[in-house]
Amino acid sequence: MFVVVLLPLACSLSILVGGSNLAQTGSGEASRSGPAASETFINPPEIVSSGGVLSATLTAKKARVRIGNKDVMARGYNGLYIPPTLRARPGDKIKLKLVNTLDAPTNLHYHGLEVSPLGRSDNVFIHLGTSEAFDYEIAIPRDQGPGLYWYHPHAHGLAESQVAGGMSGGLIIEGILDPFPELKGISERIMLLKDSEIDGDQIGQKADPAKSTRTLNGLVNPTVKIHPGETQFWRIGNIGANAYYRLQLEGHKFYQIAQDGNRLNQIVELKEVLLPPGSRVEVLVRGGAPGTYKFRSLAFKTGPQGDQNPEVTLATLISEGPAQPPVPLPSKLPPVADLRKQPVAHRREVVFTEGPGKFFINGKQFDMDRVDTTVNLGDVEEWTIRNEADELHTFHIHQVDFQVVEVNGQKTPFMGVQDNVNVPVRGVVKILVPFTDPLIVGKFVYHCHILSHEDKGMMAVIEVKPR
């Protein structure tokens, strides 16, 4: 495996060796040939909370959508391949009615929110049959971290087909830039990445990363405008089924401030970002010299038995117009609590293995009626995640964030927490998990977020019990 890990965020965020040269010139300079193109990038539609409440209805249904130059039948929300991004603030309530008109069960998961897994909240054990509706009510805690999250179905055995079909959208908790008055008013770009395998005139049930169409907000290679010297805020989320994105912006650097909806304790300067399924990153981008630059996902293979993710241009950045004086980047980010200062109550091991057409956690396939792990409210635990397969897996747990402390025996300096992490081929990741918030009492799940693996059994049930 050729990844050089950025230690604080383990394999979920990686610096890779040997980044490719700029296209066309191969010399580190952008292409400047040809007339300037107009901007075709657009942020997704939004539903914004008002008076402390976000009210919305999502109807899961089949509809014809346009992807690139093709009209295809998709499984989506409200007839859209990119449904509305939900935008709320800490302390708000999300009141969302889900209507199912599909010919299969479905539900909703609010990925990354530290909210209750019970009742009408983020309860993945609820399943809606055809022609059924359900009213979700999510109470967002006042201390919920601001940042980019997302929503998607979590019906076991159906997650890959429904998410690949278009059933996923963004969710933003406002306030991430509030501590930085120098960044007030900068342009915000919401960039939601999806992978879908088009089969004739419809989106197929599976999403092979080698064959899937990659889109940014449902668009194929849109143009994005920036002024030389201008600073923009990019929220980038991998809200697809199975694909990895090895992100690179020609002639530019990413200045990362958050991972998985969690602000870091310092800005991290990156040339590339590896974004596994389910992960998000929030970065500042400063416009380079006038010219045209490719925003690409570089080729990436997930192991000897894994998938080939080919190189694809996600968007084209055009730097033009009057130069702007660079906005100073924040010199200091707010502190983040380091879980290594807490006593460890228990140590556990989670082992990912595979068999022909089957995937396992600790030798078992998912059973929603079986509790695999029981923990006590108030405990901080150390989990060792072992990948005994010849391909990458990811580890994601609902309701809580965790801190990566070690990858393949190497200790990681602390920069923040996350909710999804890459586990190297035949590798080991150690994390600290805080089961300390009373809101999370109840049953929820942890799993590999490559949805084809999750659907084939790589998921387990955890229950947090009050003392």
Per-residue pLDDT reduced to its tens digit, 348-372: 999 999 999 999 999 999 999 999 9
Residue 102's nearest CA partner among 71, 131, 73, 65 is 131
Length of the chain, please?
467
Does residue 18 belong to any structural domain of this protein?
Answer: no
Is residue 220's pLDDT more than 90? yes
Does residue 23 belong to any structural domain of this protein?
Answer: no
pLDDT at 467: 87
> Do residues 157 and 187 share a domain?
no
Q: What is the mean pLDDT of residues 318-325?
A: 96
pLDDT at 370: 98
pLDDT tens by residue, 124-172: 999 999 999 999 999 999 999 999 999 999 999 999 999 999 999 999 9
SS3 content of the chain, % helix, strand, coil (to 5): 5, 45, 50
Is residue 211's pLDDT more than 70? yes
Q: Which residue has the higher pLDDT, 347 or 15?
A: 347
Query: Distance (Å, rounded) from C-alpha 269 to C-alpha 455?
Result: 36
**Residue-averaged pLDDT of the chain:** 92
pLDDT tens by residue, 243-263: 999 999 999 999 999 999 999
Q: What is the mean pLDDT of residues 375-404?
A: 98
Is residue 31's pLDDT more than 70? no
Q: What is the mean pLDDT of residues 320-329?
A: 94
Does residue 66 belong to any structural domain of this protein?
Answer: yes
Q: How confident is the model at residue 36 (pLDDT cuts 50, 70, 90)?
A: low
Q: Amino acid identity of 291?
A: G
Q: What is the mean pLDDT of residues 169-177?
A: 98
> Do residues 189 and 313 share a domain?
yes
With residue 162 as reference, give the H or E element that holds it. Answer: helix 159-164
pLDDT at 28: 41
Residue where a domain terminates, one of 262, 290, 319: 319
Q: What is the mean pLDDT of residues 288-292?
A: 97
> Do residues 144 and 215 share a domain?
no
Task: Output the domain CATH number for residue 102.
Answer: 2.60.40.420
> Do residues 139 and 225 share a domain?
no
pLDDT tens by residue, 423-441: 999 999 999 999 999 999 9
26 Cβ contact list (under 8 Å, min separation 6) = none
> Do residues 295 and 384 share a domain?
no
pLDDT at 27: 34
Q: What is the pTM of this model?
A: 0.92
Does residue 166 belong to any structural domain of this protein?
Answer: yes
Residue 191 near residue 217 (C-beta atoms within 8 A) = yes
Q: How confident is the model at residue 37 (pLDDT cuts 50, 70, 90)?
A: confident
pLDDT tens by residue, 59-90: 999 999 999 889 999 999 999 999 999 999 99
Torsion of CA 312, 314, 319, 324, to 10 degrees: -130
353 lies in which domain range? 339-465
> Do residues 53 and 167 share a domain?
yes
**Residue 35: Cβ-neighbour burial (10 angstroms; 0-12, 13-18, 19+):** exposed
Q: How confident is the model at residue 14 (pLDDT cuts 50, 70, 90)?
A: very low
Give the pair of three-digit tokens for residue 109: 């998961």
Q: How much of the chain, in percent, has pLDDT values that exceed 90?
A: 91
Q: Which residue has the higher pLDDT, 27 or 272?
A: 272
> Do residues 269 and 371 share a domain?
no
Q: Which residue has the higher pLDDT, 331 or 245?
A: 245
Q: How much of the chain, in percent, has pLDDT values that exceed 70?
A: 92
Residue where a domain terminates, one of 117, 148, 173: 173
Q: What is the mean pLDDT of residues 284-292?
A: 97
Query: Distance (Å, rounded) from C-alpha 208 to C-alpha 195?
Result: 9
> Do residues 55 and 165 share a domain?
yes
Does residue 185 belong to any structural domain of this protein?
Answer: yes
Specify the number of domains making up the chain.
Answer: 3
pLDDT at 2: 29
CA distances (Å), origin 452, targets 12, 130, 384, 389, 409: 19, 23, 23, 15, 29
Does residue 308 belong to any structural domain of this protein?
Answer: yes
Q: What is the mean pLDDT of residues 229-238?
A: 98
> Do residues 289 and 377 share a domain?
no
Query: Distance (Å, rounded) from C-alpha 298 to C-alpha 295?
Result: 9
pLDDT at 5: 32
Q: How confident is the model at residue 15 (pLDDT cuts 50, 70, 90)?
A: very low
Does residue 121 belong to any structural domain of this protein?
Answer: yes
